[in-house]
Amino acid sequence: MVERVTLTVDYKPSDGEIEIALSLLETAIARGQWLMLQNCHLLVTFLRTLEKELDEMAKPHPDFRLWLTTDPTPTFPIGILQRSLKVVTEPPNGLKLNLHSTYFKLRSQSLDNCAHPAFRSLVYVLAFFHAVVQERRKYDKIGWNISYDFNESDFNVCIEILDTYLTKAVEARDPRIPWGSLKYLIGEVMYGGRVIDDFDRRIVRTYMDEYMGDFLFDAFQPFHFYHDDTVDYVIPLATSKEEYIAAVPVSQVLSVSILHSLVSRYFLLSIKSSSDLDLAAISILTMSIQPALGLPVSRILSLYLLVHLG
């Protein structure tokens, strides 16, 4: 049996929520249940209490497991980290993997909720936009002046916005799509609400202007996110989106993200520079420290990665 608990608090959980979590923890320890506590980076005060409870834990059931989810934070108790198995998730690398991760997490019923004929296509457009803004982050200051944590919550809320406004249009028998409202809520409120740099805000607005409008459905001039002699990023037919995403090339063209092709060279050089530094540091450690400590090279490497990666 898995018991899942989500503490929806800011930085200080209430006494009642703490009591509920501790009660569930006590039950899980005794019965061998699995317990999950989410968003622990927002629960630093509670984590200290949790650490104390775990220290005092006596003869836990062998099937008991405690799962904690957290964003990176320097205030996470070291004691809990030291006794834990750490699992790290990273955002997908590349437009194809980003698009695949975003689109395929949608449930089929969520795509069937809205009767508007444009809904499925706009969901794909939104997934493409989400993948592109995510992909820009890996190019550091060239992608965004400030790194932003665009996440699935932003995307999911925007899906609900699309659903709400297009459903209203269907009910009102209005053939027009409310582009102004959609572009404002998606580009200025949801995604733009995270953006604090004026130039970055202009980038988001540019994407909204490029990806949102009646031109998406122009039968005489088909819409392309980007196309050249080798690739053609379009809105696929409603019945073939999965097959289309599977056929998207893994190595993308940077112009899709409205970035110059030279950015790719900068990115590869930065990776090479970082890798060279790591190799040099490991080489120095191996030659100077390993003989003195008498540890295997594999152990020296593990210690370096532990310190370097946190």
Q: Report the alpha-carbon distance of residue 21 to residue 3 in Å, rounded.
A: 11
User: Residue 260: pLDDT band by 50, 70, 90 thresholds?
Assistant: very low
Question: Which sequence spans correspond to the domains of the chain?
Answer: 2-82, 95-260, 265-309
Q: Which of these CATH numbers, 3.40.50.300, 3.40.50.2300, 3.40.50.410, 3.30.70.3270, describes 2-82?
A: 3.40.50.300
| 58, pLDDT greater than 90 | no
2-82 and 95-260 share one fold:
no
- pLDDT (mean) for 139-162: 86
User: Residue 7: pLDDT band by 50, 70, 90 thresholds?
Assistant: very low
Q: Mind listing the pLDDT tens digit for each residue in 68-94? A: 988 778 888 888 888 888 888 776 777
Who has greater pLDDT, 95 or 196?
Answer: 196
DSSP label of 92: P
Q: Report the topology of domain 95-260.
A: Helicase, Ruva Protein; domain 3 (1.10.8)
pTM above 0.75, yes or no: no
Q: Which of 77-91, 147-161, 286-300 has the lowest mean pLDDT?
A: 286-300
Cross-strand bridge partners of residue 5: 37
Q: Report the alpha-carbon distance of residue 264 to residue 161 in Å, rounded.
A: 34
| 253, pLDDT greater than 60 | no
Selection from 48, 39, 35, 37 nearest residue 75 by Cα: 48
Q: Mind listing the pLDDT tens digit for each residue in 294-304? A: 556 555 555 55
- pLDDT (mean) for 22-50: 86
- pLDDT (mean) for 274-298: 51
Q: Which of 41-45, 123-127, 182-186, 277-281 has the lowest mean pLDDT?
A: 277-281
Cα 308 to Cα 74, 82, 274: the distances in Å are: 14, 16, 12
